[in-house]
Structure 1
Amino acid sequence: MPNPHQPSHYRHDIDGLRAIAVLLVVFCHMELPFFSGGYIGVDVFFVISGFLITKIIYRELQEGSFTFRHFYIRRIKRLLPALVVLLAFCAVAFAATLSPHDLEKFTASMVWVSLFAGNFYFWIHHGGYFSENAKEAPLLHTWSLAIEEQFYFIWPIALLLLIRLLPLRVLPWLLLIALAVLTYASELALNYSMGASYYLLPTRFFELMIGAVLAVWWNKLPMPGKYFSLVVSIAALASIAFFAVTLDAQSRFPGFNAFYVCVATAALLYCGQQVHNPIARLLSLRPMVFIGLISYSLYLWHWPLLVWLNYRGIELSVIGLVVTFLTMLLAAWLSWRFVEQPFRKNTFSLKRLTLTWFAAPVATLLMVSYVTQHYQGFPARFDYQTVEIEKALNSFSNVIRGECHSSFRQRHQQPTTDCQLGDSDAKKTGFLFGDSHANHFTGFLDNVGKAAGIRITDYTMDQCPPIFGLSWGSSSYRAQGCKQRNQQAQKFIKYQNPDYVFLAASWPHYRSRFVFRDGVHLLSAEEIEQEVYEKKRETMLFITGFNAKPVIIKDIAYAGSHDPKCTLKNTMFSTERNCLLNHNHNTMMINIIERLASEFEDLYVIDAKQFYCDGIYCQAELEGIPLYRDNDHLNHVASKLLGTLYLSSGAWISPSP
């Protein structure tokens, strides 16, 4: 998040660097080619902000002129007026656009954003930064603003204490050690939670620290020479461009990847002081400086505009993209000229600023959010069909099943017969295990179990396919956790001896990046297929060895970039968007299931796609009910509907082909 703060000697090249940062973010969010990693622009901003703010604080602390009152007056004047104006505009624009449930989430997010805790809200309610539902959160981008403000509540106090308690010659070295520890901790945290690592301060602290460390070392470093600064600047700028092009939504981030970007940014800041540096001169060109000056407002306004267009299903042509970008620039300039600039130049007391731009907006937004929650997003704005469609979309099997479904952090939970599907009084028993795709079939199996007289225990966990002995995960650590989880499923089968074992998952495919063998990451399609087949066969042998019938549930059609709310938005906005999906086929699992079916006579296969897919396309709805809740999961209402259709087809379980 851009956070400009001019030092005593103004440097045009820093505004140019801000321009690069904000354009990377904007072009990434506009989904332009070659900018899949443009989100690193936020990390560039973090370094710039940490450098400039620390330079001011460090100088004032040494001079004895630093006061928290003046510091926070500057912060409030710089950030809050533009943010509050944006919130006011968004409240009006999205109140007339969002569905009832989405309006509830939006008004709640405004409260969190106004309290500089938006990063927690978006982590809790949207999970990953690149999840599909995150594209419809108008204030998602303000997570970075929360990170910076949380940093500035901690950093001045920490720096003040360090200066008072330590000799000045020790401080720079201590900060370097702390920086190394925090960077390694950020990389390590990615093994536990990618979402939390992306959104929360502890794993982002090192990025602002890189700028802060540069500021503390500034007067101890020699002035870079002309040729040295040119070579280093070119290498640094090329590094930023490289990561902007090569990183994507699947990359490990922040961690070491963010560290490389931040070091490159620090190098540009350091070398930019050399007046004969051509890269610094390039960054100091008037168009670059102009965009840098409005970068904070541009960052604030670009994302809500994109969300508004996306939510209404407006697809942009090349001309549309150009017009949208120019509209962003205009909104940013207006905000900078008539909101940012006047407040930066005028004098206000801390009390007046706090009451006007913090306390009053927070109180207003709390009231707005309370009324919106109380009236459940004002569903009377829409007809009955629209409201029912949205209820289906927001029926989440993982929420409905509660502790029967686990996140990775809860992987040590044991299977329990308290988690029951189907006929609770039946003598026949079943056991469902697998990942979140097994969880989204709980509605399906609940209907099947009731009709067939089976009492089914469900035991599911995110990103853990039901294949015994398979090392599967985004890291070797997570792969080991999945193996341990499946070992607990093995024990349940062994000691509870169910009649049926249902296995469902987002099954591995040829492009899977998560398969390990003996700690080695498998990349070739042949190795991946062979490893999955062998472990899947061992799983079948284990299940049939205890006289249970294995039932494999094939995966749903992956929706890709399809909007799961397509049906809802057609009814909301009276449009006729094409909601069909491409029928994609997991060729690897088709081959593996065919091989297993020829070996195991008792193996059954369920394929729910038969009810909404043909050879080419898949429906996004059945009987007026949308099938998906995101691009990769069924909603619970649709899951139960598919179970009913399966039963009405004449058999509760179909023999495998």
Structure 2
Amino acid sequence: MKYRSEIDGLRAFAVLPVILFHAGFGLFGGGYVGVDVFFVISGFLITGILADDLDRGTYAILDFYERRARRILPALFFVIAVSIPVAFAVMMPRQALDFAQSIIATVTFTSNILFWVEADYFAPTAELKPLLHTWSLAVEEQYYIVFPLLLALLWRIGRGATVWVIGAVAVASLIACQWAVTRHPEAAFYLLPFRAWELFVGSLCAFYMRAGPRTGHDAPALAGLALILGSIFVFDDHTPFPSVYALAPVLGTALILVFAQSGTLTARVLSFRPFVWVGLISYSAYLWHQPLFAFARIPMISAPSPALMLGLSAASLGLAYLSWRFVEGPFRNRSAPVLGRRGVLFSVVGVAALALLAVGGYGQVSRGYKALLGHLHPAYLTSGATVERAIASHANTSDPAPDAPCIRGFKRLNDAARTMAQDCAKAHGPGVMVLGDSHSIDLFRLLARRQHVPFILGINSAGCRPAAAGNSCSYQDVVDLVAGNPDLIRVVIFEQAGFYLLRDMAGDPGSREMFQRVSVYDTVPDFPFDAGAIDAMIGYLAELNAQVPVVVFGPRIEPHLPPETIMRGDCGQPIPIRDGLIGVFERLDTELARRATAAGLVYVSQNEMIGFDFSRDFGDCDRLFWSDGDHFSDEGEAYFGDRVTLIPEALALTADAWSRRSDHR
């Protein structure tokens, strides 16, 4: 294909917004669309090259793969290799384990699948993944594996049929993308079937340009540039993407490829020498920027300054030039006496791939290079063990009171729970029931450790809330139990996660992700209450309160910070609570107290009882009090339990109600 300098200039308009978006500059809130621009350009160029080969009869799949290997692999493997010792310097074992997995996935062209499984692209935790950006390379590499074979097959059928088939597949992919973006947004973002249409739009542009002489037109070319720039500055991380919204940067790129011919104003702008220079090094710049940003953020608690991120953005261009000059260039030169030989190329990249796979494999086997990191950074190994212990405690199902047979927790009100309740009521009198979702598991375990009373029955199951009670939840069974056995339970204490009683700013049901999407450096929005969820909770508890006294233990303040963030770097650093977060849960606490009191329920504020002080209530250098962003760890249950006098208070607050019920029986 004929070289077009404006395409290199267009690459600058793709890579710079991506870099500045990842650097955290809000002006470039839609900078991620630069990847979509790259997809269209890639589809355009690859289709043009392959079609030329097919027309000339020089098509050879091995030649194509050699060209792609020269273009992609040396620089990619070099950046990964340089990143490995830096990772050892700044990562804790659990982070290093994730990094090792991403090395393997990147080398095997499956990193998009890995990050689909584990990472929301727009979540703040994604900022700490040095190889996150390789998902787009994996999409292109998967396309390179499939498309040349498909095109060669269709070419035998006919040129017209080829265009129609690829056009139909592109439309089907776009429809699938639009369907998936609201149902499986991570899959829509990361996976080839939902991104293929963008590459195929580039293919269709290539077919159009090959159909006959084409002349440039300023109006559509400028419109295309406006669509790309508009996407960059108007879109943000709340834009449903990709979806029909992606048509803006995709069609904008297509208009430039087709109409920004030499001599047009758009072509002259894009051919401006600085833009072309950035375009030439754009691949290496794309490779370098994310590791630089991630490794800068990992050891930091406070926000990286804009000056630092701008400096790292410039550094990514400097490193890009060096790797373009000394890595990309020599390997792409097929006339070079040594590296130009196919056998040498495949040998070098093959050995490099095996070496990187070995490093990644060892990282998995060693659970994050524990021995190595323990030698280099003993404090990191201690911190890593603290993190792992805290995370593991969330799945702890051990008996918190093994010496107390009448203090037991169950996921549902089954026959074993009923039998225990009846036997223990005979032995000790009416007991205390702790009811709710996974947050009530924390509460049950915390109260079980204290043993304020001899009979505590926990009915606690993750995901079981009155607003989302499925067949596996026991809420109605609890009502039936206490209605039929009035002397079995003295008081029911209820707790559920607070974020499920909120909605995000788009009006969707509350989730952990709506907090995780807010960087630790930003302000949490005033998330509105979920009136339906609150109504369901209060309505159910009022129904239960008609049978047995109910105490609502209000939702805790949920910091929504991962353990690695808490233990990152020097564990003595103060941990920043996002601005506005405490206010969200204080407002929710006030609203629930009002609603519960109006419904005749007793309400106890967990936040007032515990009195969270997050200057000390995350943990210390040896302990973490949170197993994730909203659950207590085992050590947290012990730590916060010293402040919780809930059972004595609940019994006192409901004494009159219990007495009146007893008088009526």
- CA deviation digits over 1:298-352, x for unaligned, max 9? 0001111111111122854454344323221110000000011111113545554
Q: 2:387 matched to 1:393?
A: yes
CA contact (8 A) 1:445 1:643 kept: no
Aligned partner of 2:637 in structure 1 is 640
Q: Distance in 1 between matches of 2:415 and 2:96?
A: 33
Q: 1:621 to 1:283 in 2, by over 3 A?
A: same
Q: CA deviation at 1:38?
A: 0.9
Cα deviations by residue, 1:103-161 (Å, 9 ceiling, x for unpaired): 2222232122111111222233x321122322221111111111110111111122222
- Stretches of structure 1 lacking an aligned partner (at least 5 in a row): 1-7, 403-414, 469-482, 517-523
Matched, 1:23 2:24: no
2:144 paired residue number: 152
Residue 368, structure 1, aligned to residue 359, structure 2 = yes
Query: Which amino acid is the alignment partner of residue 565 of structure 1?
Result: T
**Aligned partners of 1:526 and 1:84: how far apart in 2?**
43
Return the alpha-carbon distance in structure 1 between the equivalents of residues 242 and 394 of structure 2.
Answer: 29
Q: 2:200 aligned with 1:213, yes or no?
A: no
The secondary structure found in structure 2 opposite 1:551 is: strand
- Structure 1 residue aligned with 2:126: 134
Query: Counterpart of 1:168?
Result: 159
Partners of 1:109 and 1:432 lie apart in 2 by 40
Q: 2:294 aligns with which of 295, 303, 307?
A: 307
Q: Which residue of 2 aligns with 1:204?
A: 195
**Equivalent AA in structure 2 for residue 45 of structure 1:** F
Aligned equivalents of 2:179, 2:539: Cα separation in 1: 32
CA distance in 2, matches of 1:537, 1:589: 14
Change (3 A) 1:112 1:203: same
Aligned to 2:407: none
Pairwise mapping of residues 250-265 of structure 1 onto structure 2 (< 5 A)?
A: 250-265=238-253
Residues 428-484 of structure 1 deviation map (CA, whole Å, 9 limit, x = unaligned): 6857555xxx45x634432324536434343334xxx9353xxxxxxxxxxxxxx57
Structure 2 distance, partners of 1:58, 1:600, is: 73
| Alignment partners' CA distance in 2, 1:305 and 1:627 | 31
Read off the aligned partner of 1:309 and give its amino acid letter. Answer: A
Query: Once structures 1 and 2 are overlaid, which stretch shifts more, 72-81 or 250-259?
Result: 250-259
In structure 2, the CA distance between the partners of 1:138 and 1:446, relative to structure 1 (3 Å rule), is same
- SS of residue in 1 equivalent to 2:228: helix
Whether the 8 Å CA contact 1:139–1:304 is kept in 2: the answer is yes
For residues 55 and 332 of structure 1, the distance between their equivalents in structure 2, rounded to whole angstroms, comes to: 27
Alignment of 1:241-252 (within 5 A): 241-252=229-240
Matches within 5 A, 1:329-478: 329-347=317-335, 348-358=340-350, 360-376=351-367, 377-378=370-371, 379-381=373-375, 386-394=380-388, 395-396=390-391, 400=395, 433-434=436-437, 438=438, 442-449=441-448, 451=451, 453-461=455-463, 466-468=465-467
Q: Say if 2:189 and 2:242, in contact at 8 Å, map to a contact too.
A: yes
Structure 1-normalised TM-score?
0.80
Root-mean-square deviation over aligned CA pairs: 3.8
2:111 aligned with 1:123, yes or no? no
Residue 495 to residue 76, structure 1, CA distance change in 2 (3 Å): farther
Say if 1:20 and 1:429 are closer, same or farther in 2 by CA, change over 3 A: farther
Work out the number of aligned pairs and report it: 596
1:529–1:588 contact (8 Å) kept in structure 2: no
- Which segment drifts farther, 209-218 or 329-338? 209-218
- Deviation (angstroms), 1:74: 0.3
Contact 1:16–1:289 at 8 Å: present in 2 too? Answer: yes
Maintained 8 Å contact 1:581/1:618 = no
What SS does structure 2 have at the residue aligned with 1:368? helix
Are the counterparts in 2 of residues 419 and 458 from structure 1 also a CA contact under 8 Å? Answer: no
| Letter of the 1:254 counterpart | P
Task: Describe the shift of the 1:549–1:34 C-alpha distance in structure 2 as closer, same or farther (beyond 3 A).
Answer: same
Of the structure 1 ranges 643-652 and 32-41, higher mean CA displacement relative to structure 2 is found in: 643-652
Q: CA deviation at 1:548?
A: 7.5
Alignment check: 8 A CA contact 1:557 1:609 kept: no
Residues 512, 653 of structure 1: alpha-carbon distance in 2 compared, 3 angstrom cutoff: farther
Q: Deviations over 1:570-604 (max 9, x none)?
A: 14xxx745646556222652343122222234444
Instruction: Indicate if the aligned counterparts of 2:412 and 2:473 stay in contact, CA closer than 8 A.
Output: no
2-structure distance, mates of 1:128, 1:420: 40
Higher alpha-carbon Rg: 2
Amino acid at match of 1:136: L
Work out whether 1:283 is the aligned partner of 2:270.
yes
Measure the CA separation in 2 of the matches of 1:240 and 1:115. 32
CA 528–386 in structure 1, closer or farther in 2 if over 3 Å, else same: closer
Q: Secondary structure at the match of 2:289?
A: helix
Q: Deviations over 1:183-232 (max 9, x none)?
A: 11112112332222222222222221221222233334773553xxx222
The TM-score with structure 2 as length reference comes to 0.79
Shift of 1:77: 0.5
SS in structure 2 at match of 1:169: helix
- Counterparts of 1:527 and 1:341, CA distance in 2: 54
Q: Deviations over 1:382-435 (max 9, x none)?
A: 777654443343443797279xxxxxxxxxxxx7569999x998776857555x
Question: Distance in 1 between the 2:279 and 2:9 partners?
Answer: 6
- The residue number in structure 1 matching 2:570 is 570
Q: Is the 8 A contact 1:646 1:652 kept in 2?
A: no
Which shows bigger deviation, 97-106 or 384-393?
384-393
Aligned in 2, Cα 1:581/1:47: closer, same or farther, shift over 3 Å? closer
> Are 2:9 and 1:11 equivalent residues in the alignment?
no
Partner residue in 1 for 2:35: 42
TM-aligned CA distance change 1:398 to 1:541, over 3 Å: farther
Which amino acid letter does the alignment assign opposite residue 94 of structure 2? H
Amino acid at match of 2:228: I
* Residues 1:105 and 2:102 are matched in the alignment: no
Aligned position for 1:554: 555
1:190 partner SS: helix
Check the 8 A contact 2:434/2:444 in 1, yes or no.
Answer: no
Which whole-Å CA distance do the structure 1 matches of 2:414 and 2:87 have between them?
A: 42
Q: Which whole-Å deviations, capped at 9, do the CAs of 1:340-388 have from their partners, x for residues lacking one?
A: 1111113545554333203x22322333234334444225237776544
Go from structure 1 to structure 2 and tell me whether the alpha carbon gap of 1:20 and 1:538 turns closer, same or farther (over 3 Å shift): same
Contact 1:444 1:642 in 2 (8 A): no
Give 3-state SS (helix, strand or coil) of 1:147's partner.
Answer: helix
Q: Quick check: 336-345 or 361-370, which moved more?
A: 361-370
2:78 equivalent in structure 1: 85
- Distance change in 2, residues 1:352/1:493 (3 Å): farther
Residues 198, 609 of structure 1: CA spacing in aligned structure 2 closer, same or farther, 3 A cutoff? farther
Q: Distance in 1 between matches of 2:618 and 2:224?
A: 49
Q: Paired residue for 2:582?
A: 584
Give the secondary-structure state (helix, strand or coil) at the position aligned to 2:458.
Answer: strand
- 1:588-644 per-residue CA deviation (whole Å, 9 max, x = no partner) reads 523431222222344444525754635xx65452354344566x4346345534552
- Is contact 1:507-1:555 (8 Å) kept? no
Alignment of 1:495-506 (within 5 A): 501-506=494-499
Please tell me whether the aligned partners of residues 285 and 317 of structure 2 are also in contact (alpha carbons under 8 angstroms).
yes
**Percentage identity across aligned positions?**
25
1:527–1:321: structure 2 CA closer, same or farther, 3 Å change rule?
A: closer
Change (3 A) 1:500 1:52: same
The code of the aligned residue for 1:280 comes to A
CA distances 1:12-56 after superposition (whole Å, capped 9, x unpaired): 111111101100110001111311221111111111111110111
Aligned residue in 2 for 1:270: 258
Counterparts of 2:6 and 2:420 in 1: how far apart (Å)? 69
Query: Match of 1:223?
Result: 214
- Contact 2:23-2:293 at 8 Å conserved across structures: yes
* Closer, same or farther: CA 93–484 of 1 in aligned 2, 3 Å: same
Q: Give distance in 1, aligned partners of 2:607 and 2:385.
A: 22
Equivalent residue letter for 1:154: V
Residues 546-555 or 320-329, more deviating: 546-555
Corresponding residue to 1:233 among 221, 224, 228: 221
